[in-house]
Amino acid sequence: MRIRQGVDIVETARLRRLVEASPGIADSIFTASERRYCMAKKDPYPHLAGTFAAKEALLKALGRGLRTGIDAALLEIEVRRAPSGMPRLRLSGSVSRLAERLGAAEATVSISHCADYAVATVILAGS
């Protein structure tokens, strides 16, 4: 079984500044479902930062990153929540096809955040 891992850390204040300076940018990073989930929180920015970190961690696990021209694929990675609150990843489009090509049959994500930082790790397992 082949294992791939990606990890990312996001400074919450930096993401807050980016979104507040360009409000429409959130629509190009987060799906409607992700925005609803995060904006329902008392302080949505640690949750937005955690969601962004999960997307970046997945791209790193796939051997890609935002600097390699795949930033348009951010909406093809969706962080969903189980009823328990546990995060899960849903992939579509080019990201899903890349994961299939790499033999990644299962993706596990873990997200942690505090007021200042959010961190996420993604483990891909497969053949």
**Residue 109 near residue 88, CB atoms below 8 Å:** yes
pLDDT of residue 23: 81
pLDDT of residue 73: 84
The domain ranges of the chain are: 2-126
Q: What value does the CA radius of gyration of the chain take, rounded to a whole number of Å?
A: 14
pTM value? 0.92
For residue 51, which of 35, 73, 65 has the smallest C-alpha distance?
35
pLDDT of residue 31: 96
pLDDT of residue 64: 82
* Positions of E strands within 1-127: 2-11, 77-81, 87-91, 104-113, 117-126
Quick one: fold of 2-126?
Ribosomal Protein L22; Chain A (3.90.470)
Segments in the chain below pLDDT 50: none
**Residue 117 near residue 12, CB atoms below 8 Å:** yes
Q: What per-residue string of b and e applies to 73-104 under the rule 16 or more CB within 10 Å gives b?
A: bbbbbbbeeeeeeebebebeeebeebbeebeb
pLDDT of residue 5: 97
